[in-house]
Amino acid sequence: MNVRRLSWNHFRNLRAGEFEPCAGVNVIYGQNAQGKTNLLEAMWLFTGERSFRGAKDAELVLQGETAAALRMDFWSEGRGQTAKITVAEGRRTAELNGIPKGACSALTGKFCAVVFSPEHLSLVRGGPSLRREFVDSALCQMKPGYASLLSGYNRTLFQRNALLKDIPRHAELMDTLEIWDERLSQFGERVIRQRTAYLKALSEPAAGFYAGISSNRETLSFVYRKSAEDLRRALAEERREDVLSGHTGAGPHRDDVDIFVSGLNARAYASQGQKRSVVLALKLAEAELLSRMTGEKPVVFLDDVMSELDARRQDYLLNHLTEFQVFLSCCEPGAARQMKSGALFRMEDGALSAVPPA
């Protein structure tokens, strides 16, 4: 799977234009606020997902204009395909191979990619909810049925919490908690099984990518940490505490993933470069699992990835991800001089230009 051509008009600050990337590593460099991330974001939208920056659709249109247009020619499912996205009146609509598709979510599965952005460093630095979200998002992309399972769990959790808040005023409702405990534990145990299975599958490629990034000097491992070993028993034993707090204290919504670099907790002890390397390894491992499932290598977007990485780690990203088409943005072209093959582009004031080989 790869991008063959991208064109744009009135998208963010980008001047109308197009470019044809190579099938390997594509480095886009330029100073801050020139449009590098906007370019990666434009391609990412063809996955059918929302902006990885959390932007609203209305923010994707160049100020002073009423609509933005994107077109991408790409190779997927053994053939060349063309998709178009129009952003107007605060919403995105899509067209695939000349057929209107309505909402952009219809493109899901046609063009697959993974993305790293500096915001993803919170996966290591931040709280448990961010690590749960990483696992859940990956599972939703790989297994469409997981989204329904997770939704069922969250609905049941919401209903149980509402009941917990009502019990102090209506003591007779206490007897109904057992019903909700049973439902919640059934959903919860299935969610936990899916998460632990995914992390088990992720561990081998993640460890391999991290070993490559660190030149085999460090190791990466992680463990799924449950809030309760026996969820059904924990819900029963903690009912009184849950009623007092008005919240459910045990379940997948309280679980976490502990990440270790060379045996030490990454959140507490890893350097900034190591934390960046951990997230990169997890994202690349996510891409590897996607390729095993679909039979095609997803495109990899690495936004502002080179800072805080030493020369060895930069070299790995530039020269050893040969199985993927990679789009990598950075501020200075100096690091790109390590690149042995690939394409170099300069972004300045929203205009993209190819840089001839030195």
Q: Which of 209, 243, 267 is the last residue of a domain?
A: 267
Strands (E), 182-308: 220-225, 256-261, 264-265, 299-302
Distance (Å, rounded) from C-alpha 165 to C-alpha 325? 51
16 and 108 in a single domain? The answer is yes
Crossing angle for the helix pair 144-166 and 128-142, to the nearest 10 degrees: 140
Q: Which amino acid is at 249?
A: G
Distance (Å, rounded) from C-alpha 293 to C-alpha 147? 17
pLDDT on residue 221: 97
Q: Which two tokens stand for residue 107?
A: 């493109």
Task: Say how many C-beta atoms besides its own lie within 10 A of residue 153's C-beta.
Answer: 22
**H-run or E-run covering 345:** strand 343-348
Rg, C-alpha atoms of the chain: 23
Contacts 24+ apart (CB under 8 A), 246-250: 246/161, 246/164, 246/165, 247/161, 247/164, 248/157, 248/160, 248/161, 248/164, 248/184
| Confidence class for position 305, pLDDT limits 50, 70, 90 | confident
Q: Is 38 within a domain?
A: yes
DSSP annotation of 33 reads: T
Binding residues for ATP: 30-37
Q: Which two tokens stand for residue 275?
A: 């934390």
Distance (Å, rounded) from C-alpha 86 to C-alpha 95? 9
Note down the domain range covering 235.
123-267
Does the pLDDT value for residue 358 go beyond 80?
no
130 and 262 in a single domain? The answer is yes
89 and 131 in a single domain? The answer is no
Q: Which residue has the tokens 């690149």?
A: 339
105 and 136 in a single domain? The answer is no
pLDDT digits (tens, 9 = 90+) for 79-96: 999 999 999 999 999 999
Q: Is 33 within a domain?
A: yes
Distance (Å, rounded) from C-alpha 226 to C-alpha 302? 31
Q: Is 333 within a domain?
A: yes
Q: How many structural domains comprise the chain?
A: 2
Q: Which residue has the tokens 């391999």?
A: 208
Q: What is the CATH number of the domain that holds 42?
A: 3.40.50.300
- For β-strands 99-103 and 67-76, DSSP reports them as unpaired
Q: Could you give the dihedral angle defined by the CA atoms of residues 122, 123, 126 and 130, in that order, rounded to the nearest 10 degrees? A: 120
Q: Is 306 within a domain?
A: yes
72 and 100 in a single domain? The answer is yes
Q: Which of 267, 290, 317 is the last residue of a domain?
A: 267
Q: What's the whole-number mean pLDDT along residues 245-258?
A: 96
Q: Which two tokens stand for residue 50?
A: 């929302």
146 and 91 in a single domain? The answer is no
Query: How many residues make up the chain in this entry?
Result: 358
- Cα–Cα nearest to 285, from 197, 208, 221, 200: 208
| Confidence class for position 172, pLDDT limits 50, 70, 90 | confident
- Cα–Cα nearest to 315, from 342, 352, 297: 342
47 touches 41 (CB < 8 A): no
Q: Residue 265 forms beta bridges with which residues?
A: 260
Binding residues: 30-37
The answer for residues whose C-beta is within 8 angstroms of residue 320's C-beta and 6 or more apart is 212
Q: Which two tokens stand for residue 227?
A: 């809030």
Q: What's the whole-number mean pLDDT along residues 184-206?
A: 97
| pLDDT: which is higher, 356 or 225 | 225
pLDDT on residue 357: 74
101 and 147 in a single domain? The answer is no
Distance (Å, rounded) from C-alpha 191 to C-alpha 139? 10
Share of the chain above pLDDT 90, in %: 76
pLDDT digits (tens, 9 = 90+) for 132-160: 999 998 888 788 789 899 999 999 999 99
Distance (Å, rounded) from C-alpha 321 to C-alpha 31? 25
